[in-house]
Structure 1
Amino acid sequence: MTLPLTLPVAVMVLVPVLVPLAAACGYAVLGWNKVTAWLGALAAAALLAAAVVSAITVSGTRQAVTAWDLLRVDPLSAFMLIVIGAVALLATLASPAYLAGDHTHARAARRYGMLTQAFIAAMALAVLASNLGVMWVAIEATTILTAFLVGFHPSRQATEAAWKYVVICSAGIVLAFLGIVLVHYAALHAGLTAAEALDGAALARHAVGLDPGVMRIAAVLLVLGFGAKAGLAPMHAWLPDAHSQAPAPVSALMSGVLLSVAFYAILRIKLITDVALGPATMRVLLIAAALGSLAVAAALLLAQRDYKRLLAYSSIEHMGLLALGAAIGTRLALAAVLLHMLGHGLGKSALFLSAGHIHQAVASSRIDAARGLIRRSPLLAGAFALGLLALLGMPPFSLFASELGIVRAGFAAGLGWAIAAALLLMLIIVAAVGRHGRRMLLGSPPPATQPVTQAIALPRTAALTLIVALAACAILGITTGPLGDLLHGAAAIVGATP
């Protein structure tokens, strides 16, 4: 059922896209200074407020608000807007202190402000788009915009990472484009009009009439294509290089929310293919991607020597867990997947922002250079340690609750073998990350001959951002509060069974 479009709701639908674009234009005209530095945070706060209003409008239902047949807000897209708004607010609040500590000149800072705000707007458009083609365009736009942000620092490593990111993600997005073309072909031959052939809601309603052979090929292409952008194996290789070279707030946005936006596209495709083909096809594809991603993360985390790359490989693990939950496909599993997206976004934002301040202080991303962190900055070390605990799924953080939900749903759905394999790989990951984290936090400080053995100062705004992110992640682990109805409504859209 579609709710009537009123002027206030139309404004709320447009705010998540138009306000960040307006902020990007503001940076282009006014530049970056002590006042405009906070323009991005104001835009992110407006996006989050609009997401909350949209969530209240559609919460606990399967209803949607459609604007001009282009934008659509239902519980799933409203929840994703909350994830985008929350992580964007954390990243933009931390940006002024990070750029000041990095001694970024005004021209580069203006470029940073323009690109990050356009990036946030593109992600908002991707989750609001009712048309698969528009969603594809928005996700491709994030690739173009973030390529310049990955290569923001003038270094050979950053340039190589940006090119690698562009090549792999563009290859993936081409596969996704071919998949969408096949879906369009199947829709036209099933009798849908040209206007309906790429509309997500119309495709879901008429999916039973889509050609199974064509849709099976489309499903493979779409999972590979959008999976490349989500950091799923086997097209994950761009992720550690890009996340280790991008500015810390950008890494928080990319790992904390961009990967989830790409996975949101897979969920939308799953909604169609499950009706057209039955759940078995997507289940096989997603379980393969999930276990492959967990295996890659476990293998590469064992001998990791770079703490920023460590966090990036951890993102591959968590995307694998999302794929596993989506493969299970029940409403409990899907609710856990969505909660995991939000918890991962909050926890990973705190970790990447902490890592950015550590990197500025020790002038290196190597784990050995950051040894003895707890002696040099107890607050920063505490935030980093709590972030690692959240990342490893320890209580009371929300990742513990979401991982437990995925495990319970998997055993209930008869996929105990996949859950057992995932738990074994996760045990290896916990041991590897715990070992590296202990070296950073409790190890002996580097010799005096190495740079920076002095205390590490943390700006007040940065400290507040880390505290808020970790506190929100912990609160969600105890209670979902007003998000409960929204989670159930969003899970009901994609989940086939209770």
Structure 2
Amino acid sequence: MTHALTTALLTAPVAGPLLASAAYAARRRPARAAGGPAAWLGLLSPLTILLCGAALAVTVPAHGAATAYGRMLRADALSVWMLLAIGAVATLACAASPGYLAREDADPPTVRRYHVLVHAFLAAMSAAVLAANLGVLWTAIEATTILTAFLVGHRRTRACVEAAWKYVVICSAGIALAFLGTVLLYYAARQAGISEASALDWPALAARADRLDPAVVRLGTGLVVLGFGAKAGLAPLHAWLPDAYGQAPAPVAALMSGVLSSVAFTGLLRYKVIADAALGSGYTRVLLAGLALLTLALAAALLLGQRDHQRMLAYSSMEHMALIALGAAVGTPLAAVAVLLHILGHGLAKTVAFCASGHIVRLRGTSRIGRVRGLLAEAPALGTAFALAVIALLGLPPFALFAAELGLARAGFAAGPYCAAALAAALALVLTSFAALGIRTARMLLGPPPGGRPPVRLGAVAGLPLAAGLLGCAALGTATGPLTRLLTAAAAIIGGH
């Protein structure tokens, strides 16, 4: 009975979205309006993922990792934490989708295709975080590239198609590098006498990492960091990110920024655990810290000259993924907790920001910062939600990113002179990004409404996901509550012992 329940909990986050996508694909008589009752069925998949994550969050910290299907699926504390992140962000994004599609005035086949792709996308991300085999992990992350390419080009305009192709080319190059790194790790495992069946099994590799050839592991890890770093938005393979986020539908941009980047980085962390056991923590620390500082510098420079608020949010995602990478480089228990808290807090805040940004584009017909003024006066609820989302992204209290960045700062300065120097440089770049993001957001929010028009109501359906995301981010920044034990166990997996 217990095994059957565990199998159901591990299978549902992958099978549920796939069944939902099949149901949407098979529909012959879709709802007449994009925001009709059928569209709200899209919430079943993210809610299934969220509820399964919540159920596993109760059992996994107490009883250890749960496995199913011959250990092909494995839920440890890190997997469960990421399932909660996927479920929470996807619930908010999918709740915003009907209103977005209705405003797009999309035809029924287009709406149906959108939902099929979103459900399959959620299934691929769930498979990536639950995969016990590194080959399956790589395959699932590659599947997210294929599925999101069609979502980026959803509107089929020239700019959307160009952004989709740019995304596919750059991320496919990165995933190819990650594939080579995985092959090298498999070779090192076989040379070390690990059986063929276990050569890519993550628990087996983590337990026997000291037997792997250090030279091969070093090369493989470098390729994986570059490859999965491309999907996470880290330099130097980051050029796809502003175009893809700027052209994708707002809920899709929220999913890509809020959880897809974090899922890819979590995959990278799995390899880091093996590399640290085989080589010591110095190699991955230097590699991740270098990429983090390079990404922060690029994000700060590009934010200073940014004139588009959707691309501004994309460069903010680069900044936050760089901070997550820097926390992983520090590698202390406090830094590991800060990384995981940052992942969930950033996902919630960025979902609200991108969904609000989509409403702003519909309201003003442009994403140019210079043509958006007096937003608080014209649409008070929408302007307030966007302002609070940006405040959360700036790392101000009471939101989760404040606690995460404070924890990262304390961990970095306590970890030794090299980590302290890297963190000092990072803080200088973060302050530059802070100023650029704050000034541009203030220009959008303040001033009189254009043409003296009466205030525009956001509406309960559109406003509820924004309010829920902000409340969740603030609650997480105040106390982790029942998630504390899960957070500690997940941090221990990525090196925070």
TM range (shorter): over 0.9
Whichever residue aligns with residue 220 of structure 1, its letter is G
Whichever residue aligns with residue 435 of structure 2, its letter is A
| Partner residue in 1 for 2:171 | 169
Which stretch of the first structure deviates more once superposed, 63-72 or 239-248? 63-72
Gaps of 5+ in 2: none
| Partner residue in 2 for 1:24 | 21
- Verify the 8 A CA contact 2:18 2:120 in the aligned structure 1: yes
| Partner residue in 2 for 1:409 | 411
Q: TM-score, normalised by structure 2?
A: 0.97
Question: What secondary structure does 2:388 align onto?
Answer: helix
Which of 7, 10, 14 is residue 13 of structure 1 equivalent to? Answer: 10
- Verify the 8 A CA contact 2:336 2:496 in the aligned structure 1: no
CA deviation profile, 1:388-442 (whole Å, cap 9, x unmatched): 0000000000000000111111111111101100110010011000100000000
Q: Aligned pair 1:430/2:434, yes or no?
A: yes
Q: TM-score, normalised by structure 1?
A: 0.96
**CA-CA distance at 1:196 after TM superposition:** 0.6
CA deviation profile, 1:67-101 (whole Å, cap 9, x unmatched): 42210000000000000000010011110011001
Question: What secondary structure does 1:399 align onto?
Answer: helix
Q: 1:25 & 1:481 partners in 2: Cα distance?
A: 37
Aligned residues: 490
CA deviation profile, 1:357-406 (whole Å, cap 9, x unmatched): 11111111101222110111000000000000000000000000000111
| Partner residue in 1 for 2:478 | 478
| Partner residue in 1 for 2:134 | 132
Q: 1:183 & 1:55 partners in 2: Cα distance?
A: 31
- Verify the 8 A CA contact 2:377 2:448 in the aligned structure 1: no
| Partner residue in 1 for 2:99 | 97
**CA-CA distance at 1:457 after TM superposition:** 3.4
- Verify the 8 A CA contact 2:337 2:496 in the aligned structure 1: no
Identity rate, percent = 56
**CA-CA distance at 1:64 after TM superposition:** 4.0
- Verify the 8 A CA contact 1:61 1:489 in the aligned structure 2: no
Whichever residue aligns with residue 178 of structure 1, its letter is L
| Partner residue in 2 for 1:386 | 388
**CA-CA distance at 1:245 after TM superposition:** 0.3
| Partner residue in 2 for 1:149 | 151
Q: 1:60 & 1:345 partners in 2: Cα distance?
A: 26
Whichever residue aligns with residue 491 of structure 2, its letter is A
**CA-CA distance at 1:494 after TM superposition:** 1.3
CA deviation profile, 1:232-253 (whole Å, cap 9, x unmatched): 0111110000000000000010
Whichever residue aligns with residue 129 of structure 2, its letter is V
Q: 1:257 & 1:208 partners in 2: Cα distance?
A: 32
Whichever residue aligns with residue 16 of structure 1, its letter is P
CA deviation profile, 1:123-155 (whole Å, cap 9, x unmatched): 000000000000000000000000000011121
| Partner residue in 2 for 1:373 | 375
Q: 1:461 & 1:15 partners in 2: Cα distance?
A: 27
Aligned counterparts, 1:141-220, within 5 A: 141-220=143-222
- Verify the 8 A CA contact 1:60 1:489 in the aligned structure 2: no
- Verify the 8 A CA contact 1:60 1:75 in the aligned structure 2: no
CA deviation profile, 1:35-59 (whole Å, cap 9, x unmatched): 3201110221111001111111112
Q: 1:443 & 1:300 partners in 2: Cα distance?
A: 25
Whichever residue aligns with residue 481 of structure 1, its letter is G
**CA-CA distance at 1:459 after TM superposition:** 3.1
Question: What secondary structure does 1:65 align onto?
Answer: strand
- Verify the 8 A CA contact 2:141 2:264 in the aligned structure 1: yes
Question: What secondary structure does 2:198 align onto?
Answer: coil
Which stretch of the first structure deviates more once superposed, 82-91 or 366-375? 366-375
Q: Aligned pair 1:312/2:314, yes or no?
A: yes
Whichever residue aligns with residue 410 of structure 1, its letter is G
Which of 80, 83, 107 is residue 81 of structure 1 equivalent to? Answer: 83
- Verify the 8 A CA contact 2:335 2:496 in the aligned structure 1: no
CA deviation profile, 1:16-41 (whole Å, cap 9, x unmatched): 00111111011101264223201110
| Partner residue in 2 for 1:461 | 461
CA deviation profile, 1:263-293 (whole Å, cap 9, x unmatched): 0011101110000111011001100111011
CA gap of 1:5–1:231, structure 2 versus 1, over 3 A, is farther
Question: What secondary structure does 1:72 align onto?
Answer: strand
- Verify the 8 A CA contact 2:334 2:496 in the aligned structure 1: no
Gaps of 5+ in 1: none
Q: 1:284 & 1:5 partners in 2: Cα distance?
A: 44
CA deviation profile, 1:203-225 (whole Å, cap 9, x unmatched): 00010000000000001100000
Question: What secondary structure does 2:197 align onto?
Answer: coil
CA gap of 1:353–1:287, structure 2 versus 1, over 3 A, is same
| Partner residue in 2 for 1:231 | 233
Aligned counterparts, 1:49-60, within 5 A: 49-59=51-61
- Verify the 8 A CA contact 1:344 1:391 in the aligned structure 2: yes
Which of 258, 261, 265 is residue 260 of structure 2 equivalent to? Answer: 258
Q: 1:382 & 1:18 partners in 2: Cα distance?
A: 38
CA gap of 1:454–1:300, structure 2 versus 1, over 3 A, is farther
Question: What secondary structure does 1:195 align onto?
Answer: helix
